[in-house]
A and B are shown apart, each in its own frame.
Chain A
Amino acid sequence: MISTAKSQSHLAAQSQLNILLIDENVQRAESIVTALDNSRYKVSHLACTQAGLLKQVDEIQPDIIVIDIESPNRDMLESLHTISHYNPKPVVMFSSQQDTETINLSVQSGVSAYVVGDIDPERVKPILDAAVARFKEFHKLKDELNDTKQQLESRKTIDLAKRLLMRSNKMSEEQAFHSMRKTAMDTGQKLENVAKTIVSMLRSFEKGNDHD
């Protein structure tokens, strides 16, 4: 272990970023650490053969994990996404073999992993910069997608509530909408939440009537 730092800095912030470097090649790792001195990257190094990666991830809370694609620890990293409740960490994998490019094609496409060629200390900073930019872009897209989905869902709920109100209270579409908006304003709630309440209430009434 060369250095560790406890910091909760987030990828999106421009502040210092914690890097966990997993590399059996101690010499290479040391020169990478040196190359990143005085940069915004703070590197903790873990040799592949050392146990306890999970503990490290827990303690360091890395913003990015940089790992040799041939490291046995890859399976442990992969499990962070499936078994444990860790937030997915962006992973930069490097490979000193010729076949990197083809592996990259299959690994990329939106997942938070990124394969680069041999990670020589000269190139390490631009590689990390590119990775950070890429992860940000990916997260932005993901957030946008979630927002859009959310909006669509809320519109659907409002429409449904409107239709149920029209049917049960014999209202026109406009009356139904106005009455929901008024309730929302009077009670200081979001329109979507009012709609949700109406849907669940009217639905349970309808169910009750079905049983009669």
Chain B
Amino acid sequence: MIKLEQPDITLGFIPLTDSAPLIVAKELGFFERWGLNVTLQKQNSWSTLRDKLHAGVLDAAQMLAPMPIASALGLGAPSANVITPLVLSLNGNAITLSEGLLQEVLKENEITNVTLPMAGYLLQKVVEKRKHRGLAKLKFATVFPYSCHYYQLRDWLKAAKVNLDDVDLLVIPPINMVECLENGDIDGFCVGGPWNAKAVRAGIGMTALTSFDIWQDSPEKVLGLLDSWHQKNPNSVLALCAALKQACSWLESVPNRFEAARLLSQSEYLDAELDVIAPSLLGSCLTHKSMPPRSIPSYNQFSVSNNGCINQPELVRGEWLIKHMVSAGQIPPNVTIPLDLIGKVFRPDIYQKMRLLIEDKGVQFYRRSG
């Protein structure tokens, strides 16, 4: 019998399509089944979510995969020992271009339609022409500096041989993305759901490609918590991971994902229409008002039963993220990366303990009495 050190847990999340595991675990009683009383706290920005986690105002939180590494290195905030014992989702982002930029792409390349996923060289031509004519640089937005969105956008542009100095990369809060795309403040963005689908439904842009077209099956959101909190509450952490892992497994079934979309659309969560949340969960990428959706079965991926490892925070994935942080120039010269950094942040050992616990059905969690 294992006792929970702390049954009441406050879990932070940002209202996005891939917060599905947290919302499913809450709404379908997975947390309760493990004896946990979890309060989900909706956050408005990744920075404040991080500060609250560092300060212990949140016990744990859904985080962008590079964030625990940024926390450990003290990037953007004083360093804190954030660890991740669980990967919550893979993929899920996409790059959407404004209608204006789409027309420019067609014109400059002398074509009448774009094959999707859109090849980067079509964009490169626009960037070159603009530079040649002394016109304004194209502006692309992501949601946070330490995010896969930012690295994916950079990788796509670099692969297209776009000189990154010839475009502007900005950070804009997701709630402002669609509006900014519509009024021409930006020419494109790389974000998660439901924001790409929102832009397409509004008829103001084209989703050119998904993150799955750029990086296959890389961790997108992870569970983050302080190492000190884990040391005080090892069993509560195991129970939290177990409940979330079960929610991920439940989300593997496509019919279940439609049910998840209904839960997500509620006002206390995403507060958005079903027709912008459901498509990506069902493996459909909306592309453009006058084009059919693309089938991307892994658009939002939470669990794959023939590959038991996708929720495991593998060290090699962490190393891959660090490489991107370095290449994006995000590590200041006065910050050295300790050799054992990823081993401290990514914790497959906790994940493995949790797996054994789920398999050993005899074990039950109990609230601490008194």
Interface size on B, residues (CB 8 A): 33
Given contacts A70-B44, A74-B45, contact A51 B171 (CB under 8 A): no
- Residues in A with CB closer than 8 Å to B144 are 75, 78-79
- Residues in B with CB closer than 8 Å to A55 are 185
Are A83 and B171 in contact, with the CB atoms below 8 A?
yes
Q: Specify which of A51, A71, A82, A111 is in contact with B330 (CB 8 Å cutoff).
A: A82
- Residues in B with CB closer than 8 Å to A108 are 78
Are A106 and B145 in contact, with the CB atoms below 8 A?
no
- Residues in B with CB closer than 8 Å to A76 are 170-173
Per-residue CB contact flags for chain B residues 162-206 toward chain A (1 = under 8 Å, else 0) read: 000000011111111001100101000000000000000000000
Are A79 and B170 in contact, with the CB atoms below 8 A?
yes
Q: Specify which of A51, A79, A111 is in contact with B145 (CB 8 Å cutoff).
A: A79
B118 CB-CB contact with A under 8 Å = no
The stretch of B1-9, B47-55, B303-311, B343-351 that contacts the partner chain: B47-55
Are B77 and A107 in contact, with the CB atoms below 8 A?
yes
Are B78 and A79 in contact, with the CB atoms below 8 A?
no
The stretch of A26-34, A97-105, A122-130 that contacts the partner chain: A97-105
B46 CB-CB contact with A under 8 Å = yes
Are A103 and B51 in contact, with the CB atoms below 8 A?
yes
Cα(A106)–Cα(B78), bound, Å: 7
- Residues in B with CB closer than 8 Å to A84 are 170
B143 CB-CB contact with A under 8 Å = yes
B80 CB-CB contact with A under 8 Å = yes
A178 CB-CB contact with B under 8 Å = no
Cα(A81)–Cα(B171), bound, Å: 11
How big is chain A's contact interface, by range?
A: 20 to 34
Are B47 and A49 in contact, with the CB atoms below 8 A?
no
Are A105 and B180 in contact, with the CB atoms below 8 A?
no
Cα(A137)–Cα(B353), bound, Å: 48
Are B180 and A51 in contact, with the CB atoms below 8 A?
yes
Cα(A72)–Cα(B44), bound, Å: 5
Q: Specify which of B46, B56, B78, B171 is in contact with A111 (CB 8 Å cutoff).
A: B78
B57 CB-CB contact with A under 8 Å = yes
- Residues in A with CB closer than 8 Å to B170 are 54, 76, 79, 83-84
Given contacts A82-B330, A109-B78, could you give 12 more A-B pairs where the C-beta distance is less than 8 Å? A51-B183, A71-B44, A72-B45, A72-B173, A75-B46, A75-B171, A76-B173, A78-B144, A83-B170, A102-B57, A103-B51, A106-B51
Task: Provide 30 A-B residue pairs closer than 8 Å at the C-beta atoms, listed in order of the A residue.
Answer: A51-B172, A51-B180, A51-B183, A52-B185, A54-B170, A70-B45, A71-B44, A71-B45, A72-B45, A72-B174, A75-B45, A75-B47, A75-B144, A76-B173, A78-B47, A79-B144, A79-B170, A81-B76, A83-B150, A83-B169, A99-B52, A99-B55, A99-B57, A102-B56, A106-B54, A106-B78, A106-B80, A107-B78, A109-B78, A110-B78
Chain B interface residues (CB < 8 Å from chain A): 44-48, 51-52, 54-57, 75-78, 80, 143-145, 150, 169-176, 179-180, 183, 185, 330
